[in-house]
A and B are shown apart, each in its own frame.
Chain A
Amino acid sequence: MTVGALLSIRELVVEFRTRDGAVRAVDGLDLDVDPGETVAVVGESGAGKTVAMLAALGLLPAPPECTVRGQVLFDGRDLLTMGRKQLRQFCGRHIGMVFQDPMTSLHPSLRVVDQVAEALLVHHKGMATTKARDRAVHLLAQAGIPRPDRRANDYPHQWSGGLRQRAMVAMAIANQPRLLIADEPTTALDVTIQAQILELLRSARDQIGAATIFITHDLAVVAQLADRVSVVFAGRVVEAGDVRDIFASPTHEHTVRLLAALPSPDRPTVRTRLDGAGPGVLRLDNLVTHYRRSRNSVVRAVDGVSLDLDAGETLGLVGESGCGKSTLAKTVLRLVDATSGTVFFGGQNITTADRRALRSLRPALSMVFQDPYASLNPRMTVEQIIAQPLRTFGRNRSGRVGELLEMVGLPARLAFRRPAALSGGERQRVAIARALALSPRLLVLDEPVSSLDASIRGHIIALLNRLQRELDLAYLFITHDLALASQICDRVAVMYLGKIVEIGSVADIYSRPTHPYTRALLSAIPVPDPARDRPDGRIVLSGEVPDPAAPPSGCRFRTRCWKATQICAVEEPALIQRSSGPGHLTACVHPEPSDRSDPPRAAAVQRA
């Protein structure tokens, strides 16, 4: 046992009682955290990392549903032997916690300020309410909320995810805890917001000098934040050590697997693509999709997008949530109607096609959705799910379902299971099989791997790559993850507030980005390499994406751009070629010179 460890977990075992007997979620987990140190607990979903933390803090249901054994010493006192009330007071005072989903971790019908104040009042009995509120406003300011005094009457639903997570951090640090536990604090956030929150956690930690436990599935996130890493697999720590050692020479095969699954923008996978691309499949011409949010507010979700896509090609559509990429996909598939502009599919106009024409086009267009838990009907078997499109078009389905299962690498015995009996990866394979049932030419992939564990992502990406080669499919690949896009795309279009700000080949976008937003996105990707300098040269965008119902005039990115000048507010920059790369277009009047030798953090971006 480490002498003077702040938190020391020994032989922690957590068992849940279920109908089918006891399930051991945590199986002898050990963890030490020294004062002021940051420890990352890394593992895939189901590894038991969150359950272990909840158990240590006494937040799990009481026996008999759940039994906890072992020892959790915090500053020499065993948390597991404390009474519930004592534990609550002790933990509230000394441990601050930030949860994964900022959308659900705040009380929806209390003012945010009051919730932060509440955290103070609980542990300072004599404190006046007004004083607690003042202090709460101060804490919110500390957590980077702009003008919190003006937001004193706001409720959580009026705040974005990023702001709410900041409020959570403010609550967590309210009592100057000695230990900060962050459970996947950035998983639900966009990359640029993730970068902001990571910065905030880092500064909060440094300010109050607290030790930090960082629970995450994403090794890249912890590379530059953690001092030590503990890799959890099947309820126990399989490897622990200094973050540099783990990254440099992982010993356990599971760690190796996690590291191998990390995409890196530094090494875009070079795809072997047939030169002289196939025939054009999809062409968007100045596509506009607006939808009405209320009586006098129109959301300009897609606002003049032109694109084209060839057979056998993958075009990545990258942007943060709310940039319109999903609306664009839905418009292409005519799940929503375009406001103006056209979508040509194989020469036919989808936007104006009548019901009959649309039906004849349907088989050639297909889509794979983000969440395989939501995209499969829970009451159907795998066989029924895959057969549905075939039934709809009265196609022969006797051998086809088996053929499709084989195509996506699923054993035939799964055909009669229901989705609930499948893992996330298997479900997504079923969704892909269904999408391929009618032999489409275009597949729209809406974040197809973002809800999957890292090690499974690689398999699904490989599957998609293989299917594309075999079937000469065109992919429209929608993602918020630039690093991922580099693995599968031929070209990438970066979207911001309904417009494409930059489009070009993977090589151009990743090695010679010219739009400031693209550069910021690339810079926001956590670099999975602890040996690299702590990212002082990183571009961390301030603020959040403006309301798409009232986009800024001129260049829409100007409100967050560090290069913005007066002209940006007046002139809307055209998407034209501004660098040497063929087909590399940028919508910025101050493009990054493509031949510039050392843009900030060039080492990271240009090593490709």
Chain B
Amino acid sequence: MFASANWLTRPEAPGSAVAGWRRLTSRTPGVAGAVTALVVLSMGALAPLLAPTDPSAVDGPSLAPPSRAFPMGTDALGRDVFSGVIYGARTSLIVAGGVGVIALLTGAAVGLLSGYRGAWVDDALMRITEMFQVLPRFFLALVVIAFFGPGLDRLVLVLGLTSWPLLARVVRAEVLTLRHREFVDAARVYGASSARIVLREILPNVLPSAIALLGLVVAQAILIEASLGFLGLSDPNMISWGAMASQAQQFLRVAWWLSLFPGLAILVTVLGLNLVGNAMTNASVGRR
């Protein structure tokens, strides 16, 4: 098909997962992001196997610089920073996963309903979306933690419930372009119900761009959790990169390793998720 020059951008099989993966990894940033995400994921999942010691156990000299025994040094109480960074991935993953699921479900539901129903349903839902969109997320999270005490569960809930508006808007925009496509009309002709049309015909076409955006949304949630940890508002029972960086503050001049490694972990994870998100967005745009 060489009818026009833009055939170049048209992949052979846009629907298949293999083609999607190929497109995602066809650029270096996408590969880097995907690898980072996988590393963080396995770090969190396999933390007990990977970490040399229990991150809260005192098993070394206080404030030891990075060495063979302690690759990232130890903190003031003699705890291994390397193990802390590995276990810290769990906290970030729980936040990322929880927020991701809540935001995707809410965002997709609102976006699909709004885009497909249109009229007053659309108006009402979009006004509500805007309301959520203008809420200052960080301060809301701060207030909730201040009122109900630190805890990962409420943090995930607050961040999840304030992260969906962007997804809802993107899904709605996609639905608006899809709902008058001929394959949707075709489904109406053979008598498919609205639910069937939305779930079987429209949703699979919307999902890629929603998931692409999700990477960015989730990265922000991780950043907020880390910020709260830095302010000393994280769950005391969980090891979090933000909290580690926070405790490192007072030793900034004597023990650089305490702040560097948790900080790097946050940076790399957020960057990785952003790269994946961007690469997926590009891939789903190229699909058209």
- Which A residues are within 8 Å of any B CB, using their own CB? 16, 18-19, 23, 25, 45-48, 50-51, 54, 59-61, 65, 330, 333, 335, 358-359, 362-363, 365-367, 369-371, 374-381, 388-389, 392-393, 418-421, 431, 434-435, 437-438
Contacts and interface: CB of A to CB of B under 8 A. Distances in A.
Contacts of B188: 335
B67 interface: no
Nearest to B183: A377
B3 A46 contact: yes
Interface of B: 1-5, 8, 11-16, 22, 26, 181-183, 185-193, 196, 200-201, 204-205
B15 A369 contact: no
Nearest to A434: B186
12 contacts: A16-B8, A25-B2, A46-B2, A46-B3, A50-B2, A51-B2, A362-B190, A367-B186, A375-B186, A421-B12, A421-B13, A438-B190
A51 B5 contact: yes
B189 A367 contact: yes
A379 B15 contact: yes
Nearest to A25: B2
Given A375-B186, A420-B11, 20 more contacts: A46-B1, A48-B2, A60-B5, A333-B189, A362-B191, A369-B182, A371-B182, A374-B181, A375-B182, A375-B183, A377-B205, A378-B14, A378-B15, A379-B204, A380-B15, A389-B191, A392-B190, A392-B193, A418-B16, A420-B15
A388 B192 contact: yes
Contacts of B182: 369-371, 374-375
Nearest to B191: A362
A369 B184 CA distance: 11
Contact of A377 (B4, B22, B201): B201
Contacts of A437: 190
Given A377-B201, A420-B14, A388 B5 contact: no
A95 B252 CA distance: 70
Contacts of A380: 15, 204
A369 B2 contact: no
A294 to B, nearest CB: 16
A418 B11 CA distance: 12
Nearest to B23: A19
Given A377-B205, A378-B14, A359 B191 contact: yes
Interface centre among A45, A330, A388, A419 (most CB of B within 10 A): A388
Contacts of B16: 418
A65 B1 CA distance: 16
A421 B12 CA distance: 6
A330 B180 CA distance: 12
Contacts of A376: 183
Contacts of B11: 420
A434 B12 CA distance: 23
A312 to B, nearest CB: 21
Given A18-B8, A50-B4, A388 B187 contact: yes
A431 B11 CA distance: 22
A167 to B, nearest CB: 21
A374 B179 CA distance: 12
A379 B186 contact: no
Contacts of B26: 19
A440 to B, nearest CB: 9
Contact of A393 (B5, B13, B186, B191): B191
A593 B202 CA distance: 54
Given A335-B185, A392-B196, A418-B16, A45 B190 contact: no
Contacts of A381: 15
Contacts of B14: 378, 418, 420
A243 to B, nearest CB: 24
Nearest to A376: B183
B189 to A, nearest CB: 5
B3 A50 contact: yes
B204 A54 contact: no
Contacts of A370: 182
Given A50-B3, A362-B191, A377-B201, A431 B186 contact: yes
B202 to A, nearest CB: 9
A420 B23 CA distance: 15
A584 B24 CA distance: 61
B283 to A, nearest CB: 13
A393 B187 CA distance: 12
Q: 7 tightest CB-CB pairs across the interface, nearest first?
A: A362-B191, A389-B190, A375-B182, A418-B15, A379-B204, A25-B2, A374-B182
A456 B131 CA distance: 54
Contact of A366 (B181, B190, B196): B190
Contacts of B5: 51, 54, 59-61
Contacts of A359: 191
A418 B13 contact: yes
B13 A420 contact: yes
A61 B2 CA distance: 14
A461 to B, nearest CB: 20
Contacts of A335: 185, 188-189
A284 to B, nearest CB: 18
A59 B6 CA distance: 12
A334 to B, nearest CB: 9
Contacts of B1: 45-46
A434 B22 CA distance: 31
A465 B3 CA distance: 30
A45 B183 contact: no
A381 B16 CA distance: 10
A369 B185 contact: yes
A377 B186 CA distance: 10
A141 B181 CA distance: 38
A119 B153 CA distance: 64
B183 A392 contact: no
B69 to A, nearest CB: 48
Contacts of A379: 15, 204-205
Nearest to A424: B1
B19 to A, nearest CB: 9
Nearest to A423: B1
Contacts of A330: 185
Nearest to B185: A335
Nearest to B10: A420
A408 to B, nearest CB: 15
A337 B82 CA distance: 67
Nearest to B193: A392
A435 B190 CA distance: 8
Contact of B12 (A362, A378, A420): A420
Contacts of A60: 5
B8 A65 contact: yes
Contact of B186 (A363, A369, A418, A438): A369
A362 B191 CA distance: 6
A488 to B, nearest CB: 21
A498 B201 CA distance: 32
Nearest to A418: B15
Contacts of B189: 333, 335, 362, 365-367, 435
A226 to B, nearest CB: 21
A46 B1 CA distance: 4
Contacts of B8: 16, 18, 61, 65
A376 B12 CA distance: 15
Interface centre among B15, B16, B201 (most CB of A within 10 A): B15
Contacts of B181: 374
Nearest to A363: B191
A363 B188 CA distance: 11
Contacts of A435: 189
A366 B15 CA distance: 26
Nearest to A368: B186
